[in-house]
Amino acid sequence: MVDGESLGQIGPGLVVFVGISREDDEADADYIVSKIVNLRIFSDEGGRFNLSALDIEAQLLVISQFTLYADTRKGRRPSFTDAGLPEDAAKLFDVTLGKFKQTGLAVETGRFQTHMLVSIENDGPVTIMLDSEDRNQPHRG
C-alpha cells in the first residue's frame, strides 16, 4: 500500500524482497530470478519440499528493499553504503522485474523508492535469504 493505494496483491506464492548492491549487475539478476522460481520450497502431496514456484504457478510480489544491505557491525545506526545508488538500483530492479515476468508467473510489485506498507501472511512460515554472491562461493561438503 502506497499513499492509501493498493499497488500489488497476490494469492498463493512468494513475497520477494530484492536488495541491490553497488556491485550487482544483470548476471546477479539472472541468478536470483532463476534460483527463486526453481527453488523447491513448496510441499508436494507427501508434505515434502519438492515443488518450485514454476511447478505450482505461484504468484510473486517483488519489492525493492535497500535496507537488506544494512551494515550493523559498527555503532548503533545502520549504514547503507553497500546498497546500490538509487538511479542504478532502479534500473537493475526493473531488469529483474522483467526477468521474473519472462518466467510466465504472475508478478506484482510496489513502487521503487517509496514508503510502502506491506502485509504478509506466511503459510509455514518459510523465509529464505538468497544472495547472488553465493554463486561465487565454493559448496560446503
63-98: per-residue pLDDT in tens?
999 989 999 999 999 999 999 999 999 999 999 999
What mean pLDDT is reported for the chain?
91
> Quick one: pLDDT band at residue 111, thresholds 50, 70, 90?
confident
Please give the positions annotated as active site: 67
Q: Quote the CA–CA distance of 99 and 6 in Å, as a whole number.
A: 23
pLDDT tops 70 at residue 2: no
pLDDT value for 70 = 92
Domain boundaries, the chain: 13-125
pLDDT tops 70 at residue 132: yes
- Domain 13-125 sits in CATH at 3.50.80.10
Angle (nearest 5°) at CA 119 between 33 and 12? 55
- What's the pTM value of the predicted model, to 2 decimals? 0.89
pLDDT value for 3 = 67
Contact 79, 70 (CB under 8 A): yes
Report which DSSP code applies to 57.
T
> Quick one: pLDDT band at residue 124, thresholds 50, 70, 90?
confident
